[in-house]
Amino acid sequence: MTARDFVSSDKFNELVRSRWTFSFIMLAILFVMYYGYIFLVALNREFLAKMVGNNITMGTVLFVLVIIGAWLLTVVYVLWANASYDKKVEALKKDLQ
Amino acid sequence: MESTLGKPNLTAILFFVLVVIGTMVITYFAARKTKTTSEFYAAGRSVTGFQNGLALAGDYMSAASFLGISGMVALKGYDGMIYAVGWLVGWPALMFLIAEPLRNLGKYTFADVVASRLRQGPIRIASAVGGILVVLCYTIAQMVGSGKLIQLMFGMPYEMAEIIVGVVMLLYVLFGGMLATTWVQIIKACLLLFGVTVLTLLALNKFGFSISNMLGQVQAMYPDANMLNPGGLIKNPLDALSLGLALMFGLLGLPHILMRFFTVPDAKEARKSVVYATSFIGYFYLVIPVVGFTAAVLIGKDAILGIDKGGNMAAPALAELLGGTPFLGFIAAVAFATILAVVAGLTLAASSAMSHDIYVSVFKKGTATEAEQVKVARISVIIFGIFAVGLGILFKGQNVAFLVGLAFAIAASANFPALFLSIVWKKFTTQGAVWSILAGALSATVLIIISPTVWVDVLHHEKAIFPLKNPAVVSMTLSFAVAFIASIMTPDKKAQDQYEEDKIRVYLGVGAE
């Protein structure tokens, strides 16, 4: 099997597709999180000023959530890549030999 | 208590000398392992994911983000926190879109990736121009900022500060290459994270470890300033979108950050390093507001403004108040180490663009011997080092804050589109890459000059010609549009075939350097 046939095989294409599908889903979540936050800052200040605790505003809570959320996305990506992507890569590498 | 800020401080100098001696010892050992090009630029690909994560964090957490954001929170409150979030969100995007393919396709620079299936000459020149422009803007901002900071902290003359930064950083890069630079970054990142943690704990201790108590005192002290809510940083959504795009995708086009991914052995370690980097940087931005708010309460805004109009001395002043002169000395030395490390990383990135992309790949058409390549790399390090110090002195006293925004705008509009499209778009061509890089770099530069950031804040005109503070939304769109049109107009069958063949390397890592 030539390199060309290999990369046009269904198995390989499935790998590429799953990689980018997952990446773009994660990117979309990141966008919703970050721009959701930024647009709230720009457009809905009353919501951010809401007190959710003693001196803790909704804005402060969201600040923490966006940072932790962004970090969690990287963790989820690595867990996915280790569990799913790497296994497919190993299988494909065996086929290549 | 009489402040020793701005006076030569014995503990500061002691800690500073310790940091320099420690890093020089590392440089000495690194130098013995730095003989080939791969060792000089990529530390022999021997860096682990954890180490690279720390080094990436070291590269990214500059003195500007430590002193600048804590100062901004101290003076403006919540706006500083919005800013901090923006600096973090590029990291997940870097992981999803770039990190692994970059590692698998590249050798020493991001231009390797763009040029991998296109015509070497024009691509290398265009990417090197984009890369060097970004690094230069970033370096000038860092050098001018560092001269001022060192002056404020140690009372040292500005020019002398520039020269010391230049010389020490040259020693690291010149002799120890990427290996020494990486270890300098790791040490600096650990010192910075340690210093910030201690400062935060000391600060929280004053409020009985209650965030709510701290924020309550901020509110009580500045009832009219509305410190706990957004202020004037983001007013209209389009401005917010544009700044957000620049910060997020700018990271994906910063040459000194991208270069770090070639120091790890494979794509798996590359992705691991992003998680570690995001953990350290996220933690850093999460706790920095505590430092800022505490400084606002315990030092007071007027006193902070009295030391430095930009508010940059909020964190050092707080360190002195809470931990005395020795702790101030430690924080000042950490800030100095931070500056050294960031400038060293930038210099290495500029050197790789000049020597690997331009000299070796364009002039020598890839035929230079190992010895010659390392020699040229070192010469370009010296040239860039002299430039950095010279420009730092030249721009003394200038308002260069816009240069960081410009660096991110060019990175997002010139480097990122070409890099991303060369990974994901089969029909991308040489013409498409070259013209999109040029269009992105040029439009970002011109638009930022006529934007409020420069036209009003620096040149003091009444009203800006271009309404947005950061041009990324326009310049990035333009760059992608140009890439698309130019590529469609110049179909390249060979590049498309090569794209298919490269897939084995991109997705499986087979054949990666």
pLDDT at B6 over 80: no
Would you tell me how many other CB atoms lie within 10 Å of the CB of residue B363?
12
pLDDT value for B11:
82
Q: What φ, ψ does residue A57 adopt, rounded to 5°?
A: -90, 165
Domain ranges of chain B: 10-397
pLDDT of the residue at B146: 85
- Please tell me the predicted confidence (pLDDT) of residue B2: 60
Give the pLDDT confidence score for residue B234 in this predicted structure.
76
Instruction: Look at B351 and B335; give whichever has higher pLDDT.
Output: B351
Please answer yes or no on whether A12 and B507 come within 8 Å at the CB atom: yes
Chain A residues with CB-CB distance to B498 below 8 A: none
Structural tokens at position B497: 């075939």
**What letter represents residue B259's amino acid?**
M
B511 touches A at CB < 8 Å: no
B32-71 tens-digit pLDDT: 989 899 999 999 999 999 999 999 999 999 887 888 899 9
How close, in Å, is residue B241 to chain A by CA atoms?
7
Check pLDDT > 70 for residue B509. yes
- Structure tokens that stand for B216 in this block: 């309550």
> pLDDT tens digits for B369-427?
888 999 999 999 999 999 999 999 999 888 777 888 899 999 999 999 999 999 999 99
CB contact under 8 A, B501 and A3: yes
Interface subset of B 269-308, CB within 8 angstroms of A: 271-272, 274-275, 278-279, 282, 285-286, 289
Q: Percentage of residues in chain B with pLDDT exceeding 70?
A: 100
Candidates A4, A24, A55; nearest CB to B219: A55
For the record, the structure tokens of B503 come out as 């897939």
| Cβ-based contacts under 8 A for chains A and B | 147
Q: What percent of chain B has pLDDT over 90?
A: 74
Residue B97 touches chain A, beta carbons under 8 Å: yes
B234 touches chain A (CB under 8 A): yes
Closest-CA residue in chain A for B97?
A23
Backbone angles phi and psi of A51, in degrees to 5: -85, 125
Check residue B335 and give its pLDDT: 86
C-alpha to C-alpha distance for B142 and B455, rounded to whole angstroms = 22
Q: Which residues of A fall within a CB distance of 8 Å from B97?
A: 23, 27
Place of tokens 């919540």: B78
Q: Answer positive or negative: Cα dihedral of A4, A5, A11, A13.
A: positive
* Contact residues on chain B for A71, CB-CB shorter than 8 A: 92, 278-279, 282
The predicted structure's pLDDT at residue B153: 79
How many C-beta atoms surround the C-beta of residue A16 within 10 A? 14
The per-residue DSSP string of B155-174 comes to ---HHHHHHHHHHHHHHHHH
Spatial separation of the C-alpha atoms in residues B103 and B107, rounded to whole Å: 8
Q: Which pLDDT does position A2 carry in this prediction?
A: 77
Mean pLDDT, rounded, for B180-208? 95
DSSP B459: T
Within a 13 Å sphere around the CA of B340, how many CA atoms are in the beta-carbon half? 35
DSSP-based three-state secondary structure for B420: helix
Distance, CA of B91 to CA of A94 (rounded, Å): 33
Test mutation, A5, A34, A50, A80, chain B, max B CBs within 10 A: A34
B244 within 8 A of B83, measured Cβ to Cβ: no
ipTM of the complex, rounded to two decimals = 0.96
* pLDDT above 60 for A76: yes
The minimal CB distance from A70 to the residues B88, B219, B239 is found for B88
CA-CA-CA-CA dihedral for B149, B289, B62, A40, to nearest 10: -120
CB contact B80 to A (< 8 Å): no
Residue type, B158: Y
Cβ atoms of residues B500 and B255 within 8 Å? no
Q: Which residues of B touch A25 (CB under 8 A)?
A: none
Tell me the average pLDDT of chain B: 92
Is the model's pLDDT at B274 over the cut of 80? yes
Cα–Cα distance between B218 and B26 in angstroms, integer? 44
Question: Which superfamily does B10-397 belong to?
Answer: Sodium/glucose cotransporter (1.20.1730.10)
Residue B355 pLDDT > 80, yes or no? yes
Query: Which of the two residues, B142 and A1, has the higher pLDDT score?
Result: B142
Say which of B211, B282, B424 has its CB closest to residue A70. B282
What type of residue is B345? Answer: G
**CB-count exposure of residue B420 (10 Å: 0-12, 13-18, 19+):** buried
Query: Which residue is associated with the tokens 């800690």?
Result: B15
* Rounded alpha-carbon distances, angstroms, from residue B242 to A39, B249, B273, B327, B470: 12, 11, 28, 39, 6
How far apart are alpha carbons B312 and B301 in whole angstroms?
Answer: 12
Q: Say yes or no: A72 contacts chain B, CB-CB below 8 A.
A: no
Angle between helices B314-351 and B49-60 (to 10 degrees): 110
Q: Which amino acid appears at position B423 of this protein?
A: I
The C-alpha atoms of residue B196 and residue B286 are separated, in whole angstroms, by 11
**A58 close to B (CB below 8 A):** no
A1–chain B Cβ distance below 8 A for any pair: no
Q: Do A70 and B95 touch (CB under 8 A)?
A: no
Q: What is the CA radius of gyration of chain B?
A: 22
3-state secondary structure of B98: helix
* For residue A77, pLDDT beyond 90: yes
H-only helix segments in B222-313: 237-251, 255-260, 267-298, 301-307
CB contact under 8 A, A23 and B97: yes
Q: Residues B284-326: pLDDT tens digits? A: 999 999 999 999 999 999 999 998 888 888 999 999 999 998 8
Interchain CB contact of A84 with B (< 8 Å): no
Q: Which residues pair with A51 in a beta bridge?
A: A57
Which of B92, B216, B510 comes nearest A74 by C-beta?
B92
Beta bridge partner(s), residue B506: none
Integer angstrom CA distances of residue B88 from A35, B57, B94, B111, B283: 13, 11, 11, 25, 10
Q: DSSP assignment, residue B512?
A: -
- Quote the pLDDT of residue A86: 94
Contact yes or no for A96 and B510 at CB 8 A: yes
